Amino acid sequence: MGLATIADGASRFAAFIDELTSVIGHADRAAPLRDYCAGLLAAEGRKSVEPLAAVTAPGGVSAQHQRLLHFVANAPWSDELVLAKVRQMVVPAIERHGPIKAWIIDDTGYPKHGPHSVGVHHQYCGQLGKQANCQVAVTLSIANHHASLPIAYRLYLPKVWAADAARRKKAHVPKQIAFKTKPQIALEQIREACAAGVARGVVLTDASYGSNTALRTSLSALALSYVAGIVPTVKVRAASGRGATQPRVSVKALALSLPKHAWRTITWREGAADRLRSRFARVRVRIAPIRGAAGRAPETLLIEWPEGEAAPTKYWLATLDEKISLRRLVDIAKMRWRIERDYQELKQEIGLGHYEGRGWPGFHHHGTLCIASYGFLISERETIPPSGPRCARMLAKSAIPSSYRPRGAPDPAATSRPQLDRHHPSKIDRRHRQNPAAMPMLCPQLQTEHPLCFMTQ
């Protein structure tokens, strides 16, 4: 990789930030927007505000810290407008490899020790796999087989927070924010995506969302198809035979009653070490309608029962064409893996869970800027998926030595904040700060996990 490639990457990053600047409001927010996103991509370790200040302004950390903190915690710019602009810029890169196939609903948790951060509560935390003190954000992502991108991001505000006026005021929770369940938040995000004309895809959910009958009914009312995970206790009737006279049984009981020939082994994609395969069966079923609603059309119950397991492990309800092949149905259901990898990369590489502020605006601003930075990486990936298995091994080794460090960048060794503030920039450093586009910076942690990205200081 030559210097021309680095310069091209730097210019693309500058153009990406310029587009975001058009919706960020005041012109004086352009510099902190650029620096915050560059810091998210360039900083190693924790991506809270102070490390971002250290990596983007090593000669004046204190002043930069205050600028970035104000920008992310207090500046009144619109998360919705920025995310819409990111979607507008990144979707063409995703769609070069095929149209959008799926909308993925999910949520992610951030463990917290204290009780003061907005929305923090003892609740289920997916990152820990158990109940814990944490914040939870609900997201909607768009995806195809090449890439995926979160397009909506909203903090779940528990009832105890929603009803506490004093805590709401201290955390700057907007007055219009009322308590909503996670499925209700997800449905709101989906309605907004429909209104914005986002290219439609099959809605994919895990069982915590898919088991919500009201959510599934609302998706159908929006003319959206879904493949929704459900819990084993959901009751159905077989759609064939005696129809309404068929007894209602749990999907688990129905799965256990299927004959051996109903099960087929399906391979759906390459895993980290081998091709992923399992046993699946499908049955047409009817779901009991919610009270007062019209009877629902038959749906397809998809069941997974891996070889060697004592019972089926996963269940989905699908409203796709009943003639769709089983292999294709499994392929669509399994596309939900993309959001899990997005969360992993957003947290580990971009610092999605590293924000240390306590207020509502800062929580969402940080999340929006993380998604924007991640969107830039996606737009740079032309040949491999953003979270594809074995992507590190597919990358050519960088021609730049691992010890390379741009002038003005902080030393990799730990340096205290007072020491950084005492550093005086050289003439070359001052020239770079006067002309940021002239100074490419290699995103260090992405050399092994992602295609190379570039940003300016």
109 vs 419 pLDDT, higher one? 109
Q: What is the pLDDT of residue 239?
A: 85
d(CA 384, CA 387): 8
Which stretches within 307-359 are classed as H helix? 326-333, 337-345
Closest C-alpha among 219, 146, 147 to residue 189 = 219
Region 70-85 average pLDDT:
96
The answer on pLDDT for 436 being more than 90 is no
**Of 105-109, 395-399, 416-420, minimum mean pLDDT range:** 395-399
Helix/strand/coil for 10: helix
CB 365 within 8 A of CB 79: yes
The answer on pLDDT for 387 being more than 70 is no
Residue where the block lists tokens 């800062």: 362
Angle between helices 49-56 and 61-73 in degrees, nearest 10: 130
Q: Is 453 exposed, middle or buried (0-12, 13-18, 19+ CB in 10 A)?
A: buried
Q: What is the pLDDT of residue 448?
A: 34
Q: What is the pLDDT of residue 9?
A: 78
The answer on pLDDT for 383 being more than 80 is no
Best mean pLDDT range from 83-92, 110-119, 388-397: 83-92
Model confidence pLDDT, tens digit, residues 290-338 = 555 556 789 999 999 999 999 999 999 999 999 999 999 999 999 999 9
Amino acid making up residue 289: P
Q: What is the pLDDT of residue 240?
A: 74
Where is 317: in which H helix or E strand?
A: strand 314-318
Q: What is the pLDDT of residue 423?
A: 35
Q: What is the pLDDT of residue 415?
A: 36
pLDDT band at 97; cut points 50, 70, 90? confident
Measured CA to CA in angstroms, residue 172 lies from 71, 117, 281 at distances of 15, 11, 50
The answer on pLDDT for 388 being more than 50 is no
Model confidence pLDDT, tens digit, residues 85-94 = 999 999 999 9
Where is 286: in which H helix or E strand?
A: strand 275-287
CB 175 within 8 A of CB 169: no
Q: What's the DSSP call for residue 243? A: G
CB 72 within 8 A of CB 66: no
Q: Kindly state the greatest CA–CA separation across the chain.
A: 85
CB 424 within 8 A of CB 59: yes
Q: Extract the tokens encoding 149.
A: 């991108």
Q: Please state whether the predicted TM-score (pTM) of the whole model is above 0.75.
A: yes
Q: What's the DSSP call for residue 117? A: S
Q: What is the pLDDT of residue 413?
A: 38
DSSP assignment of 408-446 equals: TSPPSS---HHHHHH----HHHHHHHHSGGG-EEE-TTH
List 204's β-bridge partners, or say none: 104, 227
Model confidence pLDDT, tens digit, residues 348-382 = 999 999 999 999 999 999 999 999 999 999 998 75
Model confidence pLDDT, tens digit, residues 346-355 = 999 999 999 9
Model confidence pLDDT, tens digit, residues 249-297 = 999 999 999 999 999 999 998 776 678 999 999 999 998 765 555 567 8
Where is 276: in which H helix or E strand?
A: strand 275-287
Q: What is the pLDDT of residue 243?
A: 53
Tally of CB atoms within 10 A around 57:
24
